[in-house]
Amino acid sequence: HYDGDAAYDDGTYTNGAVASIHDHSDNILIVGIGEIQAVLNGVEFRTRHNDYNLNMPHRNSTDYGATEPIPYPDVPPEVENAGDVNAQILEMQEWFRAFKTQNISHRDYRDYFKPILCYLEGTWIL
């Protein structure tokens, strides 16, 4: 049951994913998040559609707000050495399965699947 008149109380407001996170298969650099409402320190913020590049603070620049792309992990050697493309796909699926189930005894994914901390900041612009 929804209990309110804010947009996030409407069952049609989300695609069923947390924060309406969605895929952008046509652009590998884009992460999609739908419109969200959040309360930060007692103040309600509403956003527009939030599609953004997955970047991190720049490691060397001193420029304000400088970012750089998050580096991609290496492909596990077991995948590269699996044989033809179909065998590589099947092996990569096993790595994804191990990550999904958090089963390092199936495939030890920890060197290849690094967690990324994402957070929300809010500010008033007057």
- pLDDT tens digits along 20-30: 778 888 887 78
pLDDT value of residue 92? 97
For every residue of 9-21, which 3-state class applies, written as one string?
A: HCCCCCCCCHHHC
Q: Who wins on pLDDT, 53 or 9? A: 53
Taking residues 33-52, report their average pLDDT: 81
Q: Give the tens place of pLDDT for each residue, 44-86.
A: 888 877 888 888 899 999 999 899 998 888 999 999 999 999 9
Tokens of 120: 């929300």
Residue 36: closest CA among 53, 54, 17: 17
